[in-house]
Chains A and B, each alone.
Chain A
Amino acid sequence: MTVTPTTKAGRHLGRATRRRAAEAVVRTLVYAAGLLSIVILAAIAIFLFVEARKAINEVGLGTMLTATSWFPTGTPKIFGFLPLIAGSLSVTAVALVVFVPIGIGSAIFISEFSAGWFKEAMKSVIEFMAAVPSVVYGFLGVAVLIPWVKATFNLTSGMTALTGGLVLGIMSLPTVISISEDALHAVPDALRQGSLALGNTRWQTVYKVVVPSASSGIFAGVMLGLGRAIGETMAVLMLTGNAAIIPTSVLESVRTMTGTIAAEMGEVVFGGLHYSVLFAVGLVLFGITFAINLAADLVLERQRKRWRR
């Protein structure tokens, strides 16, 4: 008679202990998973550096960053990143001219001048544009934009920095619009109502009150769009013609950092010098995008704190 309750209690105790043990195991696993992102990010930086070490030792970081030509397979081999960096910058500059005005203008219209149903509809449109793979944008560029650029500017080839930049600009729009719109949306309505009550028109409210209040978020959106444009690979590989020459105008063919890695990695000897140099290009690319993203993230975090109520 007295045995039953003790075993019951014992079983109960056992279950509680087991659950507490499970809790400890899960907690460890969950914490480990939480730290995974730091580990991966650090591993990316470390392995890029490890694989680039041969290039840094044999060619030298200074030479790579200042030499003005890129002849990876010629004799002598010359590994100068300047044409590639100039290529990336020229394409990104064109993209910037496209996505800054159109992106911010659209975000203002969506957030300030349109009804709720329109905002929802635009979310789907932007979702769609962000979901289309970059290789598809590249293909559409090949099919439509290259012939157009060639005919419009009377060129021998339509593969130019302009062609790649225009497509990159369109591809960056979803990022810029959604982050800028979020920033505008986060501005408290009291500010708008105060401005309207003082007799300002809607537009005066927008450019005197709302946009200045959201400026850091909009800036972050532009930065993230910029990071996306610099890091984009397939579209520029397919559209810019990939000539490794420092361009003098946007109507010339350029070779970007990303395009160089994608185009040449298939042909190198693994572990060789050229392989290592491509990792050095990756390291430079990683450094640039890391700085841009970090700046944007810090700005966004500050903005989030500002309007938290």
Chain B
Amino acid sequence: MTAPMSNRTGRARRARVVEGVMKVVTGACVAMVIGAALFVLGKIIVAGLPGISLEFLFSKPGMGMRAGGIFPVIMGTLMLVTLTGVLVLPLGVMAGIYLSEYAPKNLMTRIVRLSIANMAGVPSIVYGLFGLAVFVLLMQIGKSLLASALTLTCLTLPVIITTTEEALRQIPADLRQAALALGATRWRAISKVVLPAAAPGIVTGSILGLSRAAGETAPILVTGAAFFLPKLPDSVTSQYMSLPYHLYVLATQVPNVPPEITWGTAFVLVVGVSIVSMFAAAWRSAQRKKVKW
């Protein structure tokens, strides 16, 4: 009678010990993740902040990029991202509308969804090859802002589509039906009622997607980013300098760059990309909590 009892309590105690151990082990995994994130953020801020000044942000690189600032580099990235946004938003939002509002439940739609998911996993350098073959060479746009923006459009498209579809799905069917019942056509119901309601979600999701595009290096490496340019690009067919490519160049291609210039460039890139996307994500989740349907 006592033996099985103590056996059972022994097993229960062991189970509780194992549980405690596993909580510590999995907790340690999370701690490592947080540690890695904090290390990345901390190192970039501590080493990069001293190099940041108005002069650094608003002057041109000099002395073979070993002095001066990164103004044309920042402007190049802003131009590239803006052009990408102009190209990708109409396409991505329309495709998102298709999936959420028009797509029938059939094999074709499943294939569309699979190819969107698959596009998101195509390596960025492969997009670079595609852009080089099609936009730079076949269409004869040449290595330029436009060729890179078109390449990044392909790369960002799945993100914009997914984010639009998700935002549209949050809008309850009542709103659509009310509009249709008042005699609106399908498109008027979508454009006047559903889209405005879903706009915050679409906008923040798109900012997230575009900020990721701003950090891409491999696709622009082969489609138009320039090692060094003395002036800003004057048209969409000019080459341009860009933050991620500039960081790559400073870190691996140019010897004896003062560390504050390299770290400063990394600081501007990380702060620009990640802070924008973190705020966008936070704003989106706040927006979701605020609007209750």
Q: What is A's interface to B at a CB cutoff of 8 Å?
A: 19-20, 22-23, 26-27, 29-31, 33-38, 40-41, 43-44, 47-48, 50-51, 101-103, 105-106, 108-110, 113-114, 120, 122-140, 142-144, 170, 173, 177, 200-204, 206-207, 224, 227-228, 230-234, 238, 258, 261-262, 265-266, 270-271, 278-279, 282, 285-286, 289-290, 292-294, 296-298, 300
Partner of A30, one of B18, B102, B138: B102
Asked if A31 and B102 make an inter-chain contact with CB atoms under 8 angstroms apart, the answer reads yes
Asked if A43 and B218 make an inter-chain contact with CB atoms under 8 angstroms apart, the answer reads no
A286 and chain B: residue at smallest CB distance? B126
- B37 contacts across to A, CB distance below 8 A: 125, 128-129
Given the interface pairs A23-B187, A203-B19, the reply to whether A139 lies near B281 with Cβ below 8 Å is: no
Distance in angstroms from B270 CB to nearest chain A CB is 6
Q: What is B's interface to A at a CB cutoff of 8 Å?
A: 15-16, 18-19, 22-23, 25-30, 32-34, 36-37, 40-41, 43-44, 91, 94-95, 97-99, 101-103, 111-112, 114-130, 132-134, 137-138, 154, 157-158, 161, 185-188, 208, 211-212, 214-218, 221-222, 244-245, 247-248, 251-252, 262, 266, 269-270, 273-274, 277-278, 281-282, 285
Asked if B29 and A106 make an inter-chain contact with CB atoms under 8 angstroms apart, the answer reads yes
Asked if B278 and A131 make an inter-chain contact with CB atoms under 8 angstroms apart, the answer reads yes
How many A-B residue pairs have C-beta atoms within 8 angstroms? Tell me: 278
Asked if B36 and A47 make an inter-chain contact with CB atoms under 8 angstroms apart, the answer reads no
Asked if A47 and B124 make an inter-chain contact with CB atoms under 8 angstroms apart, the answer reads no
Asked if B187 and A48 make an inter-chain contact with CB atoms under 8 angstroms apart, the answer reads no
Per the bound structure, the CA–CA distance linking A85 and B276 in Å amounts to: 37
Partner of A40, one of B154, B212, B270, B278: B154
Distance in angstroms from B24 CB to nearest chain A CB is 10
Asked if B222 and A266 make an inter-chain contact with CB atoms under 8 angstroms apart, the answer reads yes
- B120 contacts across to A, CB distance below 8 A: 293
Per the bound structure, the CA–CA distance linking A120 and B16 in Å amounts to: 28
Per the bound structure, the CA–CA distance linking A142 and B255 in Å amounts to: 13
Asked if A129 and B36 make an inter-chain contact with CB atoms under 8 angstroms apart, the answer reads yes
Per the bound structure, the CA–CA distance linking A231 and B102 in Å amounts to: 33
- B274 contacts across to A, CB distance below 8 A: 128, 131-132
A282 and chain B: residue at smallest CB distance? B129
Distance in angstroms from B52 CB to nearest chain A CB is 16
Asked if A109 and B26 make an inter-chain contact with CB atoms under 8 angstroms apart, the answer reads yes
Distance in angstroms from A44 CB to nearest chain B CB is 5
Asked if B185 and A23 make an inter-chain contact with CB atoms under 8 angstroms apart, the answer reads yes
B38 and chain A: residue at smallest CB distance? A125
Distance in angstroms from A112 CB to nearest chain B CB is 8
- B43 contacts across to A, CB distance below 8 A: 140, 143-144
Per the bound structure, the CA–CA distance linking A114 and B251 in Å amounts to: 40
Asked if A231 and B121 make an inter-chain contact with CB atoms under 8 angstroms apart, the answer reads yes
Asked if A227 and B112 make an inter-chain contact with CB atoms under 8 angstroms apart, the answer reads no
Asked if A132 and B270 make an inter-chain contact with CB atoms under 8 angstroms apart, the answer reads yes
A102 and chain B: residue at smallest CB distance? B29
- A282 contacts across to B, CB distance below 8 A: 125-126, 129
- B211 contacts across to A, CB distance below 8 A: 131
Asked if A51 and B112 make an inter-chain contact with CB atoms under 8 angstroms apart, the answer reads no
Given the interface pairs A122-B30, A125-B33, A293-B121, the reply to whether A43 lies near B130 with Cβ below 8 Å is: yes
Partner of B277, one of A110, A127, A203, A262: A127
